[in-house]
């Protein structure tokens, strides 16, 4: 069976895996974004807290994905929970770092002006600082997503969902007829998904970054 015949033959299974892969990455990204921005907002004003947040999330990233998932299995069991936890943790770093950098990068004169015309702290954050920090935050989300696309494949090790299953199956049966096709299909699928997500982010950027600060 050549690669094309394999695809046609298994498209149902592949599409389901791809959908699950995209779905888990998307959901983890939503959680990571919310958490990451929140951590950024809480910590950016203090030198010390901001650095702590960045360092902690950076440390998480240095733990090999396989090891982290492996460590999580005894704690939360197999399947979806370790996948979601691992992906969310990995997704945090770029979001947290860019949120802090972005919020700290807002021109102090603007913050001064906002305070001076009578904006309370929450409304200053919501109306001035976060909108101005949004482009770097979005870049962080974009980088995170690309990273999670790859890492999500490893989730199959803990019986997680996604295209990783196809790849692992292929790797486990190397030498058999479809082994190479499986690995190839899984990898290509992830690359295509990553490209689609990236295109979506470009579109989101167009729609959400105010015209006045668009590069």
Partner 1 sequence: MPETGDHGASIELESLTKRYPGSAQPAVDNVSMEIKAGEVVVFVGPSGCGKSTTLKMINRLIEPTGGRIRIGGEDVTDMDPVKLRRKVGYAIQSAGLFPHMTVAQNIGIVPRMLGWPRARIKERTEELLDLVGLDPGEFQGRYPRRLSGGQQQRVGVARALAADPPVLLMDEPFGAVDPITRDHLQDELIRLQHELHKTIVFVTHDFDEAIKIGDRIAVLRERSHIAQFDTPEAILTNPADDFVSGFVGAGAALKRLNLTRVRDVEITDYPTVTVDDPLQQIFNELRTSGSNEILLLDRRGRPYKWLRRGDLMRARGSLARAGTLVNDTVTRDATLRDALEAVLTDNAGRVAVTGRRGEYTGVVDMETLMNSVHEMLEADRLDALEHQHELQSLRASQTHAEQEGAAGPAGVGGPGGER
Summarize as ranges the residues that interact with partner 1 (CB under 8 A): 109-110, 112-120, 123, 127-128, 131-132, 210-213
Joined tokens for residue 43: 């910590």
State the nearest-atom distance from the C-beta of 35 to partner 1, in Å: 24
Judged by beta carbon, residue 75 or residue 117, the one nearer partner 1 is 117
Judged by beta carbon, residue 46 or residue 55, the one nearer partner 1 is 46
Q: What is the secondary structure of 13-70 as a DSSP string?
A: HHHHHHHHHHHHHHHHHHHHHHHHHHHHHHHTTSHHHHHHHHHHHHHHHHS-HHHHHH
Judged by beta carbon, residue 11 or residue 121, the one nearer partner 1 is 121
- Residues in Cβ contact with 6 at an 8 Å cutoff, skipping those fewer than 6 apart: 178, 181, 182, 185
Judged by beta carbon, residue 59 or residue 115, the one nearer partner 1 is 115
Which residue from 143, 147, 156 is spatially nearest to 183, judged by alpha carbons?
156
Give the CA distances from residue 165 to residues 27, 35, 68, 115, 138, in Å, rounded to whole numbers and listed in that order: 19, 28, 18, 53, 30
State the nearest-atom distance from the C-beta of 101 to partner 1, in Å: 18
Joined tokens for residue 125: 């954050």
Task: State residue 182 phi and psi, 5-degree precision.
Answer: -65, -50
Judged by beta carbon, residue 59 or residue 123, the one nearer partner 1 is 123
State the nearest-atom distance from the C-beta of 124 to partner 1, in Å: 10
- Residues in Cβ contact with 96 at an 8 Å cutoff, skipping those fewer than 6 apart: 36, 39, 40, 53, 54, 57, 140
Judged by beta carbon, residue 70 or residue 131, the one nearer partner 1 is 131
Joined tokens for residue 79: 């399947």
């Amino acid at each position: 069976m050549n690669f094309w015949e394999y695809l046609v033959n298994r498209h149902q299974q592949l599409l389901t895996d791809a959908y699950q892969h995209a779905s888990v990455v998307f959901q983890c990204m939503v959680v990571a974004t919310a958490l990451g921005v929140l951590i950024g907002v809480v910590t950016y004003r203090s030198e010390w807290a901001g650095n702590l947040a960045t360092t902690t999330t950076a440390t998480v990233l240095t733990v090999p994905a396989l090891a982290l998932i492996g460590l999580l299995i005894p704690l939360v069991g197999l399947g979806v929970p370790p996948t979601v936890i691992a992906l969310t943790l990995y997704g945090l770093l770029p979001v947290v770092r860019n949120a802090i950098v972005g919020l700290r990068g807002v021109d102090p004169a603007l913050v001064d002006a906002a305070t001076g015309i009578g904006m309370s702290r929450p409304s200053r954050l919501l109306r001035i600082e976060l909108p101005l920090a949004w482009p770097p935050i979005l870049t962080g989300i974009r980088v995170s997503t690309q990273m999670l696309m790859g890492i999500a494949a490893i989730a199959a090790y803990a019986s997680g969902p996604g295209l990783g299953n196809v790849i692992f199956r292929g790797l486990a049966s190397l030498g058999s007829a479809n082994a190479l096709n499986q690995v190839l299909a899984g990898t290509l699928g992830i690359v295509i998904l990553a490209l689609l997500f990236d295109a979506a982010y470009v579109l989101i950027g167009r729609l959400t970054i105010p015209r006045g600060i668009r590069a």
